[in-house]
Amino acid sequence: MRYGKAPEVFSNLSFQLPTGSFHFLTGASGAGKTSLLSLIYLAHRASEGRIEVFGRDVAHASRENLAALRRRIGVVFQDIRLLDHLNAFDNVALPLRLQKNPSKSWREDVAELLTFVGLGDRAGVFPASLSGGERQRLAIARAVVAKPDLILADEPTGNVDPAMSQRILRLLNLLHRQGTTVLVASHDPVLVAGSGRPVLHLQDGGVTLMRGGAG
């Protein structure tokens, strides 16, 4: 993968995320964590090499098939990307509305998830009136509400306190126990080490699989 005429971001990088696994993605600033997530999320195509998502070679997938694959992925972006014209409840509910499920089947689930991330009393508030940490928690709720097959989270605990970081990790662990594949990019060594999860470490364009810490 490269940006313009710049050198390739990755070189001889090869790994697999087994279905139902939970990995952290680490590396120094600029190592390519966000770029790698964007390749997995299909926001960008690789300039060379092969990427398979859910067993499909995405290089040869049609636009319609790529859209269908993306619907199976929940993403927590580092820049959050909430819709400012929707309140907290409707931001979280958006993936479910797009699936055209009747609202009576999921309204209670959305409210429960908002409460879990500490926003139960902020359901009617718009993103502009939320703090940075509240917007981050809202983005996490939106990413997981539809119970996707794969969750990609780019620094999901970057703007929250340690107690909320642990709550977010518990939510991701819960989804993982239900069969969801999880990949979390993080700069937080305490969170990573305490999770006990395997770590993919990016350095010099390649990736090394490392053991997680105790936990």
Residue 79 lies in a domain: no
The verdict on 141 and 175 lying in the same domain is no
68, 162: one domain = yes
pTM for the structure as a whole: 0.88
Classify residue 206: in a domain, yes or no: yes
Task: Indicate whether 102 and 112 sit together in one domain.
Answer: yes
How many domains does one find in the chain?
Answer: 2
Pair 155, 131 in one domain: no
| Co-location of 186 and 215 in the same domain | yes
Q: Check whether residue 95 and residue 128 sit in a common domain.
A: yes
Query: How many whole angstroms separate alpha carbon 150 and alpha carbon 123?
Result: 26
List, for residues 47-76, the tens digit of each pLDDT value: 888 899 999 888 888 888 888 899 899 998
pLDDT in tens, 22-32: 999 999 988 99
Position 215 scores a pLDDT of 34
What CATH number did the domain enclosing 47 receive?
3.40.50.300
- Percent of the chain, pLDDT > 90? 48
E-state strands within the chain: 22-27, 52-53, 56-57, 73-76, 150-154, 181-185, 199-203, 206-210
Structural tokens at position 152: 């990609």
Residues 191, 213 within the same domain: yes
Structural domain of 61: 1-72+149-215
State whether 138 and 156 are in the same domain. Answer: no
- Same structural domain, 128 and 153: no
